[in-house]
Structure 1
Amino acid sequence: MKLSTQILLLCLSGLLAACAGTTGLSRLGDSAVNEDRRLLVTFADRSIARNLQGNQQDNYQVVEQYRNSSWGGRKANELADRHRLKLVIQWPVTELGVSCVLYEVPEGRPLSQAIQALRQDPSISTVQALHRFEVLGQPPALVSGNDPYRHLQAGFQALGIADLHPVTTGRGIRIALIDAGVDLDHPDLKGQIKYFENVAAEPADHNLADIHGTAVAGVLAAHPGNGIGITGIAPEAEILAFRACWPSKPDALAAHCNSFTLALALNQALKMDSRIINLSLSGPDDPLLRQLLEKALAKGTLVIAAVPKKGQVDGFPANLSGVVAVGEDSSGHPGIIAPGKDILTTVPHQAYDFMTGSSFAAPHVAGVAALLLQLHPEWRTADIMRLLRSGSNTLTAHLPKAAAAGKKPDGF
């Protein structure tokens, strides 16, 4: 791995912890901020490889405690002055002696000019644009009120999941759900989320129960057999929920993320040895995220991403080689077609609703993969893929049943 790749990967491990000031992360979700004018920059700083107490940031759970070196802080501000940039947040990486800085390019200055100048600066290691990503859910086509029953779960029924649960429920398989927030107090999700971390800007009312993330979590892990709701595809999987996206407006299904928050979440998912990563979102090709995803794939992590409808948003990360692309209809994509229309699932405040979109097809695939991995933890991604789809690339019930019966993929 080249040093520049290591820098971009490891600089994220301290993102939550240390900051040059109290601004920065708390402004990431500010609708007034122009994310298109923000850049991620790294530079070498040997003086930070020390064990120092960190500064906790407002509105964020601190995973690791670091503190910027005084030299690093001066250097970040010097670069800001030299290149006429606004410093948003800075964080150190003790492992490589590197500082990472999020800068904002002032209005009126061409972004390309700023990027070119930074890349020509010999003291700078890497420069990365901040990209925007969108979740891939659509507004409900039908409102169910408070009448949530398993027989209404179209995908659950079509895949014959009830027949698989006596032998496999995804137990012990760690799934990173990188999305909007999850309503941890929903009666069908309470206790189902093993770990939650907010790496995005927290809303003013501190309500993290975002609709999209809660809905995706319900498809994947809703509590079975409690008599009050639906059943998840892999209800005993270890769900690590990372809130990397936030609603476009209050109470909206639509949500967006950016390179910064997604990289934070992906880095944490890798550090916590997630076996599966679910990304029900899409956006432009992103160099930093690409490196993190390639790292995940190299580790053998199964990365599942939703495919956008034509003309909706860009197709990354589903178009990345090795990522399992999932859509709700054929749409000409080469990945897997899974249930994604009128999917009954959990929504905030003890409610349920029907959702449509590839956002909700993706967790069907993630859940079935977890069922397979519980039975055969030694299987590789290619082995799982042979059982996840039929000749028409459609996720079907009989293939997982064959695996539950102990059959192995072709080629073993």
Structure 2
Amino acid sequence: MKRLAALLAMLMIAGCTQLTRETPNEDLIRAHPERFVVITLHNADAMPSARAGSSPRDYGAATPYGLAPTTRATAHQIARYYKMTPVREWPIALLSIHCIVFEMNDGDTQPDLLRRLRSDARVESAQPLNAFVTLGRADKTPYDDPYIGLQGSLATMGVPQAHALSRGKGVSIAVIDTGVDTSHADFAGSHISVSNFTGQRLRPAAHGTAVTGIIAATGGNRLGIVGVAPEADVHALAACWSPPANPSQAVCDSFTLALALANAIELKANIVNLSLGGPSDPLLRRLVEHGLARNMIVVAALPTTGEAAGFPSEIPGVVVVDAVGHGHTARDVLLAPGTDVLTLISPNGYDFVSGSSMAAANVSGGIALLLSHRVKPAEVRDLLVQTTPVGDSINLCAALASRQVNPQHCQPTVSRASRSD
């Protein structure tokens, strides 16, 4: 009996281990994503997995690994047959699949390998390891001081008047971006939690700090600026990182974004802010569609081309945002302030930033005000469109006023603040 118990214990331990693999070369992944592919395998018979991103080695503490024995065996077979090396993996319980990033054999080309993998009946899907970039602009401005009174974006959107009715309380926003400098004094008292899906030590970066500052900077603290939704709960999900040569920008990949998106869905975030863009990505699209089906509102920044193409802006149901004044003609795009928006920089500073990334952050914060005021998710986009003049920025004051029996609480017409250089 003791021998049987010991044997069962050994089998259980073996069943919880993941694929044997070398330590991932994260530098190689970041420098040459074209040398990697992402495949998924059916994993319907797995034990319940832990929360997204909690696989034992690279992305969290040791927990049950939710991988069916047959799936594990198939993964080993595919690795041997195609002479590939697994470097990252994770079961996506939401889709009943297991996701693996493989480094290709030096003798293979990515198009040929993907063609063969897609014709393999054991493979559920196969795609490139796509790269994505955040959509802010590193504009040079003469300002290096905290011009607190120059938050023209808030006046443009009617935020001061809207705050009389709603400040985002009870609404959760997942900001999928770089790490955030939560030590900034103007985040003190805000509701921000941080998770890291980059596979490396969490490093606060400019883009995520700026986007989160627009949404959640603490109001009423006699310091700095105020966020659009200062009472919202923000989940800062780090899936991107800044290249040393350009710290104002950031890049991500299919795997890290998938981890963060699944985590946002599991957290039941009301809003997901994706101030980034890149090529079409089947895996990420499936996750976004899964969230949309659960009444999650996904906000995306319009690519710099001015066309709602690629991930995530091409996905039907995603709220696509551009900076007012960019002059783009893409259809069904909301406009919001995205030029010289005052926000937070590290350490403990303030600066003006630009780009559709910042416009998307303004809209995500604005949607939080509407949801907090009991506007239904399915009504949000139509309400913003109906209360916005053609070619102009959304106006949260006007949107909230349209839902009031006594609209004097929030006048739809507000003065526009401006600044001169």
The TM-score, its normalising length taken from structure 2, stands at 0.82
Does residue 1:333 correspond to 2:312, yes or no? no
Tell me the CA shift for residue 98 of structure 1. 4.9
Does residue 1:323 correspond to 2:336, yes or no? no
Does residue 1:300 correspond to 2:300, yes or no? no
Distance in 1 (alpha carbons) for counterparts of 2:328 and 2:117: 41
Q: 1:345 to 1:382 in 2, by over 3 A?
A: closer
Which residue does the alignment assign to 2:108?
109
Distance in 1 (alpha carbons) for counterparts of 2:115 and 2:394: 46
What percent of counterpart residues are identical? Answer: 31
**Which letter maps to 1:56?**
P
1:368–1:400 contact (8 Å) kept in structure 2? no
Which residue does the alignment assign to 2:76?
77
Does residue 1:126 correspond to 2:121, yes or no? no
**Which letter maps to 2:328?**
S
- In the alignment of these two chains, the number of paired residues is 385
1:89–1:103 contact (8 Å) kept in structure 2? yes
Tell me the CA shift for residue 251 of structure 1. 6.4
Which residue does the alignment assign to 1:177?
175
1:29–1:200 contact (8 Å) kept in structure 2? no
CA deviation map 1:159-191 (0-9, x unaligned) = 221122122101111111111110111111234
CA deviation map 1:290-330 (0-9, x unaligned) = 11112222222211110122289954312222111111123
Q: 1:390 to 1:132 in 2, by over 3 A?
A: same
Q: 1:298 to 1:330 in 2, by over 3 A?
A: farther
- Indicate the SS of the match to 2:391: coil
Tell me the CA shift for residue 96 of structure 1. 8.1
1:29–1:201 contact (8 Å) kept in structure 2? no
Tell me, which stretches of 5 or more residues in structure 1 are unaligned?
1-16
CA deviation map 1:20-63 (0-9, x unaligned) = 35756x544556652123222233467743789x87325x4449
Tell me, which stretches of 5 or more residues in structure 2 are unaligned?
1-15, 408-421
Tell me the CA shift for residue 76 of structure 1. 2.2
Tell me the CA shift for residue 126 of structure 1. 2.1
Q: 1:270 to 1:407 in 2, by over 3 A?
A: farther
CA deviation map 1:267-291 (0-9, x unaligned) = 1111111111111011111111111
Q: 1:51 to 1:36 in 2, by over 3 A?
A: closer
- Indicate the SS of the match to 2:185: coil
> What is the aligned-residue RMSD (CA, Å)?
3.0
- Stretch of structure 1 that moved more, 288-297 or 43-52: 43-52
- Indicate the SS of the match to 1:370: helix
1:183–1:209 contact (8 Å) kept in structure 2? yes
Which of residues 207, 210, 218 is equivalent to 1:215?
Answer: 210
- Stretch of structure 1 that moved more, 300-309 or 40-49: 40-49
**Which letter maps to 2:126?**
V
Which residue does the alignment assign to 1:12?
none
**Which letter maps to 2:347?**
H
- Indicate the SS of the match to 1:188: helix
Which residue does the alignment assign to 1:162?
160
- Indicate the SS of the match to 1:103: strand
Tell me the CA shift for residue 220 of structure 1. 0.6
Which residue does the alignment assign to 2:366?
368
Which residue does the alignment assign to 2:57?
57
Which residue does the alignment assign to 2:33?
35
1:282–1:313 contact (8 Å) kept in structure 2? no
The TM-score, its normalising length taken from structure 1, stands at 0.83
1:132–1:259 contact (8 Å) kept in structure 2? yes
Note the 1:175-214 alignment, pairs <5 A.
175-202=173-200, 206=201, 208-214=203-209
Which residue does the alignment assign to 1:267?
262
Which residue does the alignment assign to 2:248?
253
2:21–2:86 contact (8 Å) kept in structure 1? no
